[in-house]
Amino acid sequence: MKRLVYLFSAFAAVALIAGCEPKIVAVPIQIQLMSENAPLAVEGISVSLEDAAATNVFTQLTDASGIATFTVNPGSYIASAVYKAVENGKRVAYNGSNTNILVVEQPEAPFPIDLAKVESQQLVIKELYSTGCPKNEGTGSYSNDAYVIVYNNSEFEADATDLVFGFLAPYNGHATNKFYGADNTLIYANEDWIPAAGAIWSFTSSVKIPAYSQIVVAIFGAIDHTATVTASVNLSNPAYYWMSNSGITAYTNAKYAASDAIPNSHYLTAFPFNKGNAWVLSNSAPAFFIGNMSKSENERICNDTANFDLTNGTTDTGWSVKFPKASVVGAIEVYSAANIEKSNARFPADINTGYAAITNNKGYTLYRNVDKEATEALPENEGKIVYGYAGGTEDVNGSTDPSGIDAEASIANGAHIIYAQTNDSGKDFHQRKTASLKK
């Protein structure tokens, strides 16, 4: 929300008549952290204040009342804060922002930031690679090599058997979004569902993920894509899983294939509710999610027409399934870097805020940021954490991991990584130059 605020015009006119330059006087303001309609009275929380032009960012720490004090010039600002803690043995993050801070004169009351409490989930989306890479000849792109990595972000074994995968309508963040009402808010923002598109995928066998470990799920072809496209990835690995088209007669697109290395027990299955010849995921700007739901319940909601929403289209190619919010485990909102101004959020704020931007067709990937404090606090990590991370794309107007920790190098060095969870895709993910599977 970029706004230009014209201030002190009368003062400026008087000053010019008097033959002197207008003087802008900085004023003190306060930012009050709030949670569940009450002050979050915690000292030492870092609060950021960014001007509307995104040219200056100021930071201050809260006092014992949860108030941060700034002295700024009149104008329009955005304030944000994240507070991480351990409550009842579980990691939590308080995250929020206020995008409507207008400073004209010294305000009488503090500006509030409402922080939503986010409890850590055991299973998280560690990486989403879906926007393609350059072909060998240097012209065109290749995007049949998409994958997602699910990570056990805890010290306990995770049962992922009932994990499901899906994405929201519309397919692209910059597409026309019919789910926005006349008040410019999502029609399901205060409902108990989100509009899943295409199909929802389930595992067909028991899946366990050890502590601080991961599984790789091939979204399209579970083959060695590097055999034909050097910049791509090798998804032919017996430890990997595959969103299989086996048993789905409508899915006949030839790009769906798996190498003999992938065991049948690692095939996922889907219950399509849109008519088409393939499982299709946006290769530029998906709103991707993982959820917790039994295979039988997944089948039920995808075949029950009473559970369909027709907002995105009344024909069988526009149907969406009302996926229950309570079953969502993790989400990532992706915008194409070339179309940010045209893009709109598909996840409601109670699931995700913010977005992760990605430049398409470069072989870049969206990789989850490290929770620096939590990772450094693990006693077994002493001497094993690798710093000086340079894998982000900050040098090409992208982003990087603010922790400075090289997660993949640290894992190779025997460290256990705990990844950030704020339910804000812009704070949880960065654009990585190279898919992590390529090291």
Domain boundary among 73, 101, 119: 119
Domain boundary among 66, 92, 119: 119
Count CB atoms within 10 A of the CB of residue 14: 12
Task: Tell me: do 71 and 162 sit in the same domain.
Answer: no
Question: For residue 238, is the peptide bond before it cis, meaning its omega torsion is within 30 degrees of 0?
Answer: no
Question: Letter for the amino acid at 12?
Answer: A
Please report, for residues 128, 204, 271, 335, 382, the alpha-carbon distance to residue 343 in angstroms, rounded to integers and kept in the order given: 19, 35, 28, 7, 43
Task: Tell me: do 215 and 302 sit in the same domain.
Answer: yes
CATH number of the domain where residue 94 is located: 2.60.40.10
- 111 inside domain: yes
pLDDT at site 89: 67
Task: Tell me: do 69 and 22 sit in the same domain.
Answer: yes
- 404 inside domain: no
- 275 inside domain: yes
- 388 inside domain: no
Task: Tell me: do 98 and 174 sit in the same domain.
Answer: no
Task: Tell me: do 203 and 310 sit in the same domain.
Answer: yes
Say which residues have a Cβ less than 8 Å from residue 43's Cβ, sequence separation at least 6.
Answer: 61, 62, 63, 64, 66
Task: Tell me: do 106 and 149 sit in the same domain.
Answer: no
Task: Tell me: do 129 and 271 sit in the same domain.
Answer: yes
pLDDT at site 21: 57
Domain boundary among 72, 92, 119: 119
CA distance 344 to 336: 11
Say which residues have a Cβ less than 8 Å from residue 358's Cβ, sequence separation at least 6.
Answer: 131, 284, 285, 334, 335, 336, 337, 364, 365, 366, 431
Helix/strand/coil (H/E/C) assignment for every residue in the chain: CCCCCCCCHHHHHHHHHCCCCCCCCCEEEEEEEEECCEECCCCCCEEEEEECCCCCEEEEECCCCCEEEEEECCEEEEEEEEEEEEECCEEEEEEEEEEEEEECCCCCCCEEEECEEEECCCEEEEEEECCCEECCCCCCEECCCCEEEEEECCCCCEECCCEEEEEECCCCCCCCCCCECCCCCECCCCCCEEEEECCCEEECCCCEECCCCEEEEECCCECEHHHCCCCCCECCCCCCEEECCCCCCCCCCCCCCECCCCCHHHEEEECCCCCCCCCCCCCCCCEEEEEECCHHHHHHHHHCHHHEECCCCCCCCCCEEEEEHHHEEEEEEEEEHHHHHHCCCCCCCCCCECCEEECCCCCCEEEECECHHHHHHCHHHCCCCCECCCCECHHHCCCCCCCCECHHHHHHCCCCCCECCCCEHHHHEEEECCCHHHC
Task: Tell me: do 97 and 148 sit in the same domain.
Answer: no
CA distance 333 to 370: 18
- 327 inside domain: yes
- 405 inside domain: no
Question: Letter for the amino acid at 246?
Answer: S
CA distance 439 to 391: 10
- 241 inside domain: yes
CA distance 418 to 36: 27
Q: How many domains are contained in the chain? A: 2
Each residue's pLDDT, cut to its tens digit, for the chain (439 residues) gives 333 333 333 334 334 444 555 667 899 999 999 998 999 999 999 999 998 777 888 999 999 999 999 999 999 999 999 898 878 767 788 988 898 899 988 888 999 999 988 888 999 999 999 999 999 987 789 999 999 999 999 999 999 999 999 999 999 999 999 999 999 999 999 999 999 999 999 999 999 999 999 999 999 999 999 999 999 999 999 999 999 887 788 888 877 899 999 999 999 999 999 888 888 899 999 999 999 999 999 999 999 999 999 999 888 888 999 999 999 999 999 999 999 999 999 999 999 999 999 999 999 999 999 999 999 999 999 999 999 999 999 888 799 999 999 999 999 999 999 999 999 999 999 999 999 999 7
Task: Tell me: do 113 and 191 sit in the same domain.
Answer: no
Count CB atoms within 10 A of the CB of residue 324: 17
Task: Tell me: do 139 and 258 sit in the same domain.
Answer: yes
Task: Tell me: do 107 and 177 sit in the same domain.
Answer: no
- 393 inside domain: no
Residue range of the domain that includes 21: 9-119
Task: Tell me: do 96 and 129 sit in the same domain.
Answer: no
